[in-house]
Structure 1
């Protein structure tokens, strides 16, 4: 992180020129490593990551910076000018950029939002600093002088880099931070001092993942000693967010292609075994496109936004089974099953409901439909009783997320926690 000492801060908003400050001096490794030990003492769950960083002396770097290969480039003059206590904070700050994958996230944001040029990358660096600095210091760790915090920009705390990036632009409030440069590890843009993927002492992708996993284990092992941001990060390392629409499509495809699904006997082509039974014609087992019945929970506990999302998922489900919309039917269900609509008329489908929830009626109606479906897909918030017995076809549940708490069976009770879907259903959380 780019910071300045207290004496120079009174004269200039940025750091002293690296060229003039570093002339004639070598990097004080004893002081730098003493600061790292202080950082480990203050944040022991980050020890694996802090010791994984390889130090590279560089007079091109204004202060300290990292690249995506876990090299830490350090200015000798910066180390000489700043006390050990502040250097410990810089160690934690820089390694936080790498643990939180700010370089990868910066590249993704740049592609998605069309952000180009050094100005956009500076904004990413500032936004990444805000994500780290709002709760990483205190409790034995000093906030380095000149560090960017959300409060300095009039922004709320506790948000992510991507959120902060939407809330400010370069202007009067950010002009004092124009000198910030935490390196390519903070925003994904290569610097002239980077050694690159083929340089010495860089970590491979597998090694970097191993470091993150070890740190996440340490964070989870100290639940009372870490901030909410680090707990959230550790949870995502162990359980990374999944592309739920892809998962839902994969679940439907797997159910539709399983043994027995879409199979029936046909006399259109007699079985080859008929030759062994003179005078009899045996039917052959033929594969046909699978039929899918979609049950949409339309009870009062499901919001309009979730119902709109459900209709979008119906289209995705049709694609997952090969685009045969005529083989997909949609039924709305609250406490009672309503009209079954063929998906070929999806534009005219009306979701009816708004009462209590009992999707067992929907299962019963779907299984009575002729021809019988091979797969039943249920889109629900889970606040429903489930069939006691496994249905005669495969079941996929798309579950709208709900907060977990304690309570009893009452949809009007905000503390109500629905029973989990049964084990015989493949469950995918939607959204």
Structure 2
């Protein structure tokens, strides 16, 4: 970790803020040693630009142990991250699993080698000036060996104690990083059933989010003012923006230097609608959007108007109240083996998401699992560090206004 570089960055930011304060009549907040650079909601969304997921890497597992090569991708390199940045992405989301790399209670110590590797991969992007999001990804999936963050388990006291200890260690590890690092409490946390939210499962998810915010803030340093990313039920838009039980965590331990009318909480949702186009592994539905030419290959729902309405729900419910929204995952799998025009529709989908997210003041982060070819989400070849889906890449950059 380039601690000296970060310290110089912090000093420069403080000087810039001080100059800005004097120019505007001294109304800007005083920068302090425990405060990351201040940035309001709309500004950080603009700065984060287009986002990309380093999927199927640090959340990949074998026998309950995280292993970045377990699901077929090569070891992550600086060269790959440099290629992603050169392509125009300003934000990288790095899904991370911990699972059996967490020791026994009461300390629940994370394996130091694993936490060091997480930091190393974060630094590949952070040291290049990119925004980086890290989360706790696979620990809440019942289908993953070694999972434990289970919202309908009867062992909630133990789960919540373990969750607190683990996030305390992660937050302490990254305490000195500036606002370019964003911590995300969980991933797609729910009871595993694709229906309406249930209780007390949703209440436990709300509790996890509250524990996360309180724990990160109490570690101090830049964590006291860091942007924190919070998901609702299964990162589902309807179950987060609607009246289904989502509760925003309080933020009482944040730095007093943050103006009372500013937030430091972001809301996380994912978007894969319509699933028969974006994720269903078949050749039935391969087209999407107004340019679709074959109605029999186009879903009967989930088109442009639906996407717009969904993102507007997040705008009305959160963005207008000062809470940035991050669409932490979106994309559509490759079905070009069934329809030679499929990649064009995938690009149309990506463009529409990127452009609509920008329209509603939201960050969109493309899901890339490193898999190229049939049913893959890959946009890059992670071995040769080459772009494999230039059409989709160009569409995203055009959507956010970068090309």
TM-score, normalised to structure 1, is 0.22
TM-score, normalised to structure 2, is 0.23
Larger Rg: 1
- Could you say which structure has the greater relative contact order, defined with CA pairs below 8 angstroms and 6 or more residues apart? 2
